Structure 1
Amino acid sequence: NTAGHLYREITGDFIVTTRIKVEGTETAVPQRSFSLAGLFIREPRAFTAETWIPGEENWLFISVGTAFPAGQPQFEIKSTYNSLSTLKISDAQTGWMRLRIARSGELFTLLYQAEGAEEWQVLDQFIRPDLPKTLNVGLTAYADWDSVSADYPNYQQYNEQGASSQNPDLLAYVESIEFRRPTTPRFPLATLDPRVSLNPELSEARMRDLMAD
């Protein structure tokens, strides 16, 4: 495993779900910016410290905790293509929740279900034809951007030596992580709304599958 990524290799379509709770060490929400944990998928890379080449990371994730400003419960979603990232932050809840990523070919759907809620909510979807058939799929946790940011411009030194100062504030409790195969065939369009789908029956079946326990 690499750094903050605990994973297994998954080939083909999948639905991965985790039940997770993120807190600060002394508060219900972490108080250091970008302190979150959640689901992470990544293109596998084989390299050593000597053969590593920058600009070739490809991945996406959904995590919960606090992003920015620190101290507010938030989701972070990030999609990274050749080490260039698109970041989205949205409001979240505290306490236990379930996070889910579903792959259907090049289409990735990111969902969450708050504790006590009956329905899953779709946070985002990404079309990523660049990602290979086999991916590293699992968990991630990261914290304390306030300390890291001063050193990160020299990312190679940071990767080798870590941050010069550290003040992490993150507790991530993971009850479970589950993997299963989708029950619907590959879906060629990003829409989840049967009202505007070219195949309403398939859209409805996929929605049921995405939100099934």
Structure 2
Amino acid sequence: MRPFLLATLMISTAATAQPHPPGQPPRTDLSRHDDEFSGAALDAKWTRFDQRYGWPDKLKRLDVGATVPGALHLQPYHGAWVRDLNAPFLFQTIDGDFDVRARVRVRGASGAIPGGTWSLGGLMARTPNGLDAASWEPRRENWHFVTTGAGLERGVPVTETKGTYNSFSSLKLRPFRSGWVELRLVRVGMTLFALAREEGGAWRVRDRFYRMEPNPVMQVGLIAYTTSDAVPPQREDPVRENKTVLADAPVDMLMDVDWIRFRRPAPAIDWKWQTQVREHPLADPNLSEAEILAALGS
């Protein structure tokens, strides 16, 4: 790791032991947000996006411990998180920087890979916009995610990373293994990193995002979405699609979540915008994957 970056991160990390200054997000412990899904029902600390904002329920099934012992199980209906479209999302509100990880598996009913295309699930961090189904406006969605499953090609396991800025989505699909994987989203000020690792493997950086987001509050949690071959391509209509549940459209996507865990990231960067744009060491576009991993830790 280059000396400047190492020295800056050492200073920043050491500063986390001090009370956060006025105007800065807190560095309080986040472990209260953890969930091992060891009970028989979804913990009350989770908020369902559809219920909170008045959208219809697009989950065919949600259970804890019934389908897979010790795991959250989700089966979404046809839908998507892209542009102005929404789909199932379970979240908790996080103030300030975070490092969230989850062990997940996205599969088909009778196979290790979902049967269709665009069938993915994983972690998302969304900036709340104050809108609900009744007050909805276009071009107001801002979020990032890292998911696993099948994307453009049927039967090909991938990770998908996606950044959405005022409802304009930019995505990347990269080959990855199927089965149980660990996904990770790390926010440090204006930077956000998406990582994944295979069972027993090392973390790999799947994407990096840079945005000046003054709101320290984000909704962080789990998404699941899939598409059905029975739904013909048509001009996108967010108002209609977000309010319609296609319960009869056949889909083949199951998501299991073994656990999800939250903590503060090791680096702690001053949140003043001047610092973020001039001195944020993780905002350097020339950072190698090795440097990012060394800074974020294991």
For the aligned pair, the TM-score class normalised by the smaller chain equals 0.7 to 0.9
Q: Which residue of 1 aligns with 2:266?
A: 183
Aligned partners of 1:67 and 1:89 also within 8 Å: yes
Q: Which residue of 2 aligns with 1:2?
A: 49
Once the two structures are superposed, residues 65-116 of structure 1 have per-residue CA deviations (whole angstroms, 9 ceiling, x without a partner) of 0001121101111100010000111101011110001011010011111012
| Structure 1 residue ranges (4+ consecutive) displaced by more than 6 angstroms after TM superposition | 192-195
Q: Alpha-carbon deviation of 1:28?
A: 1.0
Q: Output the aligned Cα RMSD.
A: 2.3
Amino acid of the structure 2 residue aligned with 1:40: M
Once the two structures are superposed, residues 103-148 of structure 1 have per-residue CA deviations (whole angstroms, 9 ceiling, x without a partner) of 110100111110121x211111000213621000000000125345
Rounded to whole Å, the distance in 2 between the matches of 1:210 and 1:35 is 29
Residues 59 and 95 (structure 1), Cα distance of their counterparts in 2 relative to 1, 3 Å cut: same
Q: Alpha-carbon deviation of 1:209?
A: 5.6
Rounded to whole Å, the distance in 1 between the matches of 2:198 and 2:251 is 25
Q: Which residue of 2 aligns with 1:55?
A: 139
Q: Alpha-carbon deviation of 1:193?
A: 7.4
- Residues 43-192 of structure 1: pairs in structure 2 closer than 5 A: 43-117=127-201, 119-130=202-213, 132-144=215-227, 146-148=229-231, 150=233, 153-163=236-246, 165-186=248-269, 187-191=280-284
Q: Alpha-carbon deviation of 1:149?
A: 5.7
Return 161-170 or 90-99, whichever deviates more: 161-170
Rounded to whole Å, the distance in 2 between the matches of 1:53 and 1:24 is 35
Aligned partners of 1:9 and 1:135 also within 8 Å: yes
Larger radius of gyration: 2
Q: Alpha-carbon deviation of 1:15?
A: 0.1
Unaligned 5+ runs, structure 2: 1-47, 51-87, 270-279
* Structure 2 residue 96 is the aligned partner of structure 1 residue 12: yes
Return 58-67 or 165-174, whichever deviates more: 165-174
Amino acid of the structure 2 residue aligned with 1:163: L
* Identity within the alignment, %: 35
Q: What TM-score results when the alignment is normalised by the length of structure 1? A: 0.86
Residues 12 and 35 (structure 1), Cα distance of their counterparts in 2 relative to 1, 3 Å cut: same
Aligned partners of 1:60 and 1:79 also within 8 Å: yes
Q: Which residue of 2 aligns with 1:28?
A: 112
Residues 131 and 124 (structure 1), Cα distance of their counterparts in 2 relative to 1, 3 Å cut: farther
Residues 193 and 53 (structure 1), Cα distance of their counterparts in 2 relative to 1, 3 Å cut: closer
Q: What TM-score results when the alignment is normalised by the length of structure 2? A: 0.63
Q: How many residue pairs get matched?
A: 203
Residues 185 and 64 (structure 1), Cα distance of their counterparts in 2 relative to 1, 3 Å cut: same
